Amino acid sequence: MSLIKAATGLYNWIERRLGIGGPSIDAATHPIPRSSASWMYVFGSAATVLLVLQVVTGILLALTYTPSAGDAWQSLQLLNHEVPLGWLLRAIHGWGSDFMIAIVLIHMVQVFMFGAYKYPRELTWILGVFLLLMTLGMAFTGQVLRFDQDAYWGLGIGASITSRMPFIGGPMVHVLLGGPIIAAQTLSRFFALHVFVIPGLLIAFAGLHILMVLRLGVNEWPMPGRLVSKATYDAEYAELTHKDGVPFLPDAAWKDAVFSAFILLAVLACALVFGPFGPGGQPDPTIIETAPRPDFAFLWLYAVLAYLPPELETPFLFTAPVLAIGAMLALPLIAPTGEKHWSRRPIAVLMVTVIAVALGTFTKLGTYTPWSPIMSAWSAQATPAQYLNGRSPLERQGAIVLQNKQCRNCHALGGVGGQRGPALDSIATRMTEDQMIRQVVQGGGNMPAYGKALSADETHALVAFLKTLRGPDNGAPATDASRSLTQVEQPASPAENH
């Protein structure tokens, strides 16, 4: 009994001087609409918990990590293999990052679909947009700190994009890299960003974001037809919370807590099962046998950069982000009132669907990069045996030319090889001999010209081999429609025109 009395006394002594206990209890038990104590409202708190996890694991990693270009990769090896449980801390930090991006995006979609960005929560949304950008900024700078080949060449991509800025591109590259090349100063810059600048802003913005949620109240569950009007909303919300409200703690808080615990366990499970991310090969710029690839969160961007036509690339890189971020920031200012319910906002539903499908498709493409030549296909993948059976010596010589001249780095045979150009399994049903010779010698349509790299005999043999590739069902060879028209005595049969 006296122990409880002593504890209460200590609390009262501190509370008399510090005075944050009472306001904290008031904030935790603030009334929210009964409908908002829902499993749909747990993502914001889960993102906050993940932020705390990232800060704690990040500090722990900093105990071992060496932010020096010459030593960073070695210190990651030390973490992975020497420091007890270092691998697990790296894995939790890495998976925590992926989970944080996912939860922040889900939180954003939920807020958008529920119209929670409308009056009076416009500024909460705007700060949330910055929180999303900073979360992605943490993911990118974190990928740089995992100082391996992907990080090194990823910085090269960043420098190359920066250099496309009009007028100030050149100096800006040097500001980004901290010098003329990707080296020690570059890593130190990104270390400062990842450890001091962005986390400081992120914690400050997240604090303001949560403060505004407390001040303005948790969004009510939208009802079709219940429109937001600046004149009446405050009174309506006060009635919802005070007549029919429930205290956030405990009525809603237990769901937040259960979901956060579930997410933390999921991060831990992924970390235990899949382990830490890399590091990949050491960041030696003279090892050029590498195919750099960004982390999962940026694969969609990698795909977009591959598919943009060259003449659109620079304009796109400097207008699309401005427009996209501008649109997200302007959203609550353009549509602060009106319908909140998703069933009455078809364009909002369509936008989320289209953006999700587009990001998903580009991410999927980014996982297997069909636009990249497969650098080893010419020497590592044999010509399928069935394509050599019954071929003449000349045709087989052509198959050797096709292998030796790296054609398969971009063209697949039997489903194996690059996908940069079309697969060649049935090329003879689509192109005539003349067309094939022209395409090989002169190139075009995104294919280099091989006129200098092939002798006339090699071209002759190559095309002889290509003419035998007519697909699994041995389709009809392609014909030149105009040639048959010139043969007036033999009118072209309709089938040949296809």
Partner 1 sequence: MTTPHEPTGAPVSVEPKGSAPDPSRRAFLFKLSVALNGVVGAVLAVPVIGYLLGPALKRDDQYKSWVPLGGVNDFPEGETRLVDFVNPVKTSSDGMTAKVSAWVRRIQGDKFQVFAINCAHLGCPVRWFPQSRLFMCPCHGGAYYEDGSRASGPPERGLFEYQYEVQNGKLLIHAGQMPTLSNEACDKKPRPLTQIEPAAAADERTEA
Contact 151, 240 (CB under 8 A): no
Q: Which run of H or E residues covers position 186?
A: helix 184-192
Q: Contact region for partner 1 (CB under 8 A) — 102-110, 161-169, 203-211, 248-256?
A: 161-169
Single out the residue of 170, 250, 321, 338 in contact with partner 1 (rule: CB under 8 A): 170
Q: Are residues 287 and 281 in contact, defined by beta-carbon separation less than 8 angstroms?
A: yes
Q: Can you tell me the distance from the alpha carbon of 446 to that of 461, in angstroms, rounded to the nearest whole number?
A: 23
Out of 60, 87, 102, 164, the only residue in the binding site for partner 1 (CB under 8 A) is: 164
Should residue 160 be labelled a site residue for partner 1 when binding is judged by CB under 8 A? yes
Interface stretch with partner 1, choices 54-62, 220-228, 402-410, 473-481 (CB under 8 A): 402-410
Cβ of residue 493: shortest distance to partner 1, in angstroms? 37
Minimum Å gap between C-beta 239 and partner 1 is 16
To the nearest 10°, report the CA torsion of 156, 96, 198, 216: 140
**What character string, x for contact with partner 1 (CB under 8 A) and - otherwise, covers 313-332?**
x-------------------
Among 106, 133, 268, 305, binds partner 1 (CB under 8 A): 305
Which of 52, 60, 136, 184 touches partner 1 (CB under 8 A)?
184
Residue 247, Ramachandran bin (φ over 0: left; ψ between -120 and 50: alpha; else beta): beta
Nearest-angstrom CA–CA distance, 94 and 277: 7
**Is position 292 an interface residue for partner 1 (rule: CB under 8 A)?**
yes
Q: Which of residues 220-249 bind partner 1 (CB under 8 A)?
A: 234
Q: Is 443 in the site for partner 1 (CB under 8 A)?
A: yes
Which tokens is 329 given?
Answer: 């920031």
CA gap 18, 11 in Å, rounded: 10
**Euclidean distance between CA atoms 297 and 126, whole angstroms:** 22
Distance from C-alpha of 298 to C-alpha of 321, rounded to nearest angstrom: 14
Considering the complex, what minimum distance in angstroms separates the CB of residue 184 from partner 1? 4
Contact status: 161 vs partner 1 (CB under 8 A): yes
Residue from 22, 84, 310, 390 touching partner 1 (CB under 8 A): that is 310
The reply to whether 175 sits near partner 1 by the rule CB under 8 A is: yes
**Subset of residues 186 to 215 that bind partner 1, contact rule: CB under 8 A:** 186
Among 38, 337, 363, 372, binds partner 1 (CB under 8 A): 372
Tokens of 361: 């498709």
Vertex 151: Cα angle to 299 and 90 (nearest 5): 90
Residue among 391 and 405 whose Cβ is closer to partner 1: 405
Distance between CA 428 and CA 461 in Å, rounded?
Answer: 14
Return d(Cα 314, Cα 298) in angstroms, integer: 18
Considering only 136, 268, 375, 416, the residue that binds partner 1 (CB under 8 A) is: 375
Nearest alpha carbon to residue 461 among 411, 409, 406, 391: 391
Give the binding range for partner 1 (CB under 8 A) out of 81-89, 176-184, 357-365, 484-492.
Answer: 176-184
**Given 16, 235, 286, 455, the residue binding partner 1 (CB under 8 A):** 286
Smallest gap from Cβ 33 to partner 1, in A, equals 18
Per the listing, tokens 């969160």 go with 297
Which residue in 123, 416, 437, 441 binds partner 1 (CB under 8 A)?
441
Q: Which two tokens stand for residue 449?
A: 């010209």
> Among 367, 369, 115, which residue's Cα sits nearest to residue 222?
115
| C-beta separation of 145 from 194 below 8 A | yes
What is the phi/psi pair of residue 338, to 5°?
A: 100, -155
Nearest-approach distance from CB 435 to partner 1, in angstroms: 16
Quote the least distance from Cβ 397 to partner 1, whole Å. Answer: 15
Q: Is 80 in the site for partner 1 (CB under 8 A)?
A: no
Helix (H, G, I), strand (E, B) or coil at 246: strand
Annotate each residue in 6-45 with x if it binds partner 1 (CB under 8 A) or - if it does not, as one string: ----------------------------------------
Which residue lies nearer to partner 1 by CB, 445 or 491? 445
Interface pick for partner 1 out of 261, 269, 291, 354 (rule CB under 8 A): 291
Examine residue 471 and tell whether it contacts partner 1 (CB under 8 A).
no
Q: CA 497 to CA 222: how far, in whole Å?
A: 61
Q: Smallest distance from the beta carbon of 473 to partner 1, in angstroms?
A: 31
Q: Does 172 bind partner 1 (CB under 8 A)?
A: yes
Query: Which residues in the 110-149 window bind partner 1 by CB under 8 A?
Result: 120
Which one of residues 29, 38, 64, 68 is an interface residue with partner 1 (CB under 8 A)?
A: 68
Q: Are 450 and 403 in contact (CB under 8 A)?
A: no
- In the bound state with partner 1, the residue whose beta carbon lies nearer, of 310 and 491, is 310
If one asks whether residue 423 binds partner 1 (CB under 8 A), the answer comes out as no
Q: Is-contact 193 136, C-beta < 8 A?
A: no
Q: Binder to partner 1 among 171, 207, 224, 338 (CB under 8 A)?
A: 171
Shortest distance in whole angstroms from residue 173 CB to partner 1: 6
The answer to whether the bond into 250 is cis (omega within 30° of 0) is yes
Query: Is residue 446 a contact residue for partner 1 (CB under 8 A)?
Result: yes
Going from the C-alpha of 494 to that of each of 188, 471, 478, 479, 484, the distances in angstroms are 70, 22, 14, 12, 11
Measured on CA atoms in the order 159, 160, 163, 165, is the torsion positive or negative? negative
Cβ proximity to partner 1, 38 vs 68, nearer residue = 68
- Which helix (H) or strand (E) segment is 162 a member of? helix 149-162
